Structure 1
C-alpha cells in the first residue's frame, strides 16, 4: 500500500499533455491538437489514454462528463525513454449551443497504467460564437 501511494505522488510516474491548436468551444466545430506522452522513470505497462469533454456548472458547483472524446487502448511497457505524439481531433456536439453560456467546459485527459496509477491533464475551453 505504501509503495502504491509513493508511486502515485512521485515525479517520475509518466505524463500526458494535450496541446490544443485552438481552445474555443464552438458547437459543431472541430478541435484538433496533439497528445504528448512521456514514459515513467520505472518501466510500467500502460493500459489506455482517455480524454473526456467535461462540463462544470458554476451555479451548482458540480462537474460531469458530457461525452467521451477519445479512448486509445495500449498494452505496452514504457519507461523514461518512451515519448510519443498522438494526433487529436474532436467535433464539439451541437447540443451545447443552449448550454455554453451556463457551463464551463474542458477536456480531462488521463494516462492510465496497468496498476491504475494515473496522470491527469486538464485543458480549459473558452466559449465562442
Structure 2
C-alpha cells in the first residue's frame, strides 16, 4: 500500500481528468457546456481544484496564449477506481477570431491535488463565425 501511495505522488496510478463537451464547434460569445469526468487512481487522493484554460495557438509561430481561465475549488477525496463528475460551463469570449489554418483552440485542463503530480487533459474545439 505504501508503494502505491508513493507511486501516485509521482504521477503513476494517480487520478485522471477528462473534459467531455456537449459540442466542440462553437461560435464567439456562445456558452460551452460539458462535464469533467474524474477517474480515481490506485489510491485515494485529496483533490484541491480544477483549472481549465482556453488556449489559442498561432500555428505559424507556435505561440500559445491563454485567453481565459476557470478555476473550480473542489476539495474532495477521490476514491480509488471511483468516478466523479463536475459540471462545466464556459462562455467563449465574443472577440475571438474563428479557427483557420493558422489559429487553433483547445481547453487545457489541470487536476490539482493537495499532494502529488498534477493530471492534464487537452480538448480541441473549433471556433466558427455565428
TM-score, normalised with respect to structure 2? 0.83
RMSD: 2.2
Gaps of 5+ in 1: none
Stretches (4+) displaced over 3 A: 3-9, 99-102
In 1, the alpha carbon distance for the partners of 2:66 and 2:21 equals: 19
Cα displacement (A) at 1:26: 1.1
- In structure 2, the partner of 1:109 is 109
Gaps of 5+ in 2: none
- In structure 2, the partner of 1:57 is 58
In 1, the alpha carbon distance for the partners of 2:91 and 2:122 equals: 18
Cα displacement (A) at 1:40: 2.0
Query: Is the Cα contact below 8 Å between 2:17 and 2:39 reproduced in 1?
Result: yes
TM-score, normalised with respect to structure 1? 0.83
- In structure 2, the partner of 1:74 is 74
In 1, the alpha carbon distance for the partners of 2:31 and 2:57 equals: 21
